Structure 1
Amino acid sequence: MVKEREMRWETLDSEYVIRRPWLTARRDKVRLPTGAVNDEYYVLEYPDWVNVIAITADGMFVFVRQYRHGIAETSFEICAGVMEDGEQPVDAIKRELEEETGYAGGRWTELMTLSQNSSTCNNITHCFVAEGVEKKHMQHLDDTEDIDVFLFTKDEVRGMLERNEIKQALMAAPLWRYICNGV
């Protein structure tokens, strides 16, 4: 058996560098268990995120396509979003799926939880699978959203993954897990 040692850092001081709706950065002064002090350790704070591999009753994967300014590319993605205060992960992603795609219903299973970068970001992404979703209504997009909806077969999704066409790591990881292992 491996003996584990305490590795948690002690926060000596903390101050916010920026607090905006989509960017909050904090500068911490921390002491490591070794005694070393890091005067400037930066943490990006985000609300928790959610995403879903949504699959229709006839086995089609529901995807969205939208422009991503950070990498200056338009990309295919699974439906995803931000959890609102007090919202449970499954409720948040059901809301996002309906708003972004018009699909709803089905059998929901939590697949995994991930961190985008546990070194510098404080949030978690909750990943779900929804099997048997149905088109219920039109999209209900926010003013800042411009999203197209597509349906793909499992083989098409696997091909997109193999060709590195799904670049968002928090979406590629659950897709690979599902494609290779199922739920």
Structure 2
Amino acid sequence: MATNEPTDPAKIARWEKLGHALLASTRVFELRSTRYRHPVRLTERDFIVAHPPDWVNVLALTPDHHLVLVRQFRFGTEAFSWEIPGGVMHVGEDPLVGGPRELREETGFIGAPARLLGSVHPNPAIQSNRCHFVLVEQAAQTAALEWDADEEIEVTTLPVEEVLARVHAGEITHGLVLNALLFFQKYWETMRPR
């Protein structure tokens, strides 16, 4: 029977990891089958986990209080998606380095300073990585684009309030972009011009 009472954290068991096997290695992640045992019930089970590198998404704020947005075709949904710039971080790369790099490569925008607004686990049930949200202020389009071979990106800027309105209208649906904008909104509420 379900209750509304919170579960006592002391009663939740941490499963013991017994080992893993590599199922597939792709350009974007490794897929592993990991065997775990429950410490109380002693049941064992295999769980499939994707191990992508960490990601970084960039909230690039221009001097006139616009955010940089990108629109691109996404193969998972087979549709175009409005997003903020971002991508895969290099192994060991700091988000404050990777964020401005991705911003410059995808959009040609450069700015400073860069600050970390927050980080999330995109889907802890089946993924091991983190996504970091970096704010870059004073962003201006001054660099050449450096797209990857498969990238084709529409770049635009919109006033912050219009971007937030698009979120509430359901026009921006990428979950990590929505996470980033949630972190940004708290910053914006304290820093926006009155």
TM-score, L = length of structure 1: 0.92
Q: Is the 8 A contact 2:86 2:102 kept in 1?
A: yes
Farther off after superposition, 28-37 or 79-88: 28-37
Farther off after superposition, 171-180 or 136-145: 171-180
The amino acid of 1:83's aligned partner reads: M
Distance 1:34 1:137 in 2: 57
Secondary structure of 1:94 counterpart: helix
Residues 1:9 and 2:20 are matched in the alignment? no
5 Å-filtered alignment, 1:33-182, equals 33-182=39-188
1:180 Cα deviation after fit = 4.8
Distance 2:115 2:25 in 1: 34
1:181 Cα deviation after fit = 4.9
1:143 Cα deviation after fit = 0.9
TM-score, L = length of structure 2: 0.87
Q: Is the 8 A contact 1:60 1:153 kept in 2?
A: yes
> Which structure 1 residue ranges, 5 or more long, are not aligned?
none
Secondary structure of 2:152 counterpart: coil
1:38 Cα deviation after fit = 3.5
Identity %: 30
Distance 2:24 2:57 in 1: 27
Q: Is the 8 A contact 2:100 2:136 kept in 1?
A: no
CA RMSD of aligned residues (A): 1.8
Farther off after superposition, 103-112 or 65-74: 103-112
Secondary structure of 1:90 counterpart: helix
Aligned residues: 182
1:3 Cα deviation after fit = 7.2
The amino acid of 1:142's aligned partner reads: D
Query: Counting strand residues as a fraction of each chain, which structure ranks higher?
Result: 1
Q: Is the 8 A contact 2:53 2:129 kept in 1?
A: yes
Kindly provide the CA deviation profile for residues 56-113 of structure 1, in whole angstroms up to 9, marking residues without a partner as x. 1111110111001101110110011101122111111111000000011222221111
